[in-house]
Amino acid sequence: MSNFANRMDMFERLTPQKQLFQRVASAVLIVGALLCIYQPENHLLRGFTRYAAQITVAYWFLGLLFLVLKNARLTMVSFICCGFLCLFLKGMSDSKVAKPQVAHALQISVAQINISLSNSKYAETIDAIKKTHADVLSLQEVDLEWSNRLKDSLSVIYPYRCRVDKVDLYGIEIYSKYPFASSDTFYTAINNMPNLVVSLKKTASSRPIFVVSTYFMPPLFTSAYFTMQQQMKTLADYIHAIKDPLLTVGDYNIESSSWEIQQFRQQAGLLNSRRGFRPTRADGQFDLTEVPTDHIFFTPHLECNYFETIVGAKNEHLGILGSFQLTNLLTDAEKTD
| b/e map 114-152, b = 16+ CB within 10 Å | bbebbebeeeebbebbeebebbbbbbbbbeeebbebbee
Whether residue 266 is found in the same domain as residue 209: yes
Comparing CA positions, the residue from 111, 36, 77, 75 lying closest to residue 310 is: 111
46 shares its domain with 110: no
Query: 3-state SS of 136-201?
Result: EEEEECCCHHHHHHHHHHHCCCCCEEEECCCCCCCCEEEEECCCEEEEEEEECCCCCCEEEEEEEC
CATH, residue 263: 3.60.10.10
- Whether residue 92 is predicted with pLDDT greater than 80 in this model: the reply is no
* CA pair distance 188, 195, nearest whole angstrom: 8
Name the pLDDT band for 48 (thresholds 50, 70, 90): confident
Mean pLDDT, range 312-319, rounded to an integer = 85
Average pLDDT, the chain: 83
Q: What is the pTM of this model?
A: 0.82
For residues 18 and 121, state if they share a domain: no
Q: Does 241 lie in the same domain as 120?
A: yes
> Are 202 and 264 part of one and the same domain?
yes
Domain membership of residue 95 (yes or no) is: no
Give pLDDT, residue 288. Answer: 67
- Give the model confidence (pLDDT) of 252-280 as tens digits: 988 888 888 989 999 999 999 887 666 55
Does 49 map to a domain? yes
Residue 136 domain boundaries: 104-336
- Residue 230: Cβ-neighbour burial (10 angstroms; 0-12, 13-18, 19+): middle
- Total domain count for the chain? 2
User: Within this chain, do residues 26 and 149 fall inside the same structural domain, yes or no?
Assistant: no
109/169 same-domain check: yes
Same domain (yes/no): 178, 68: no
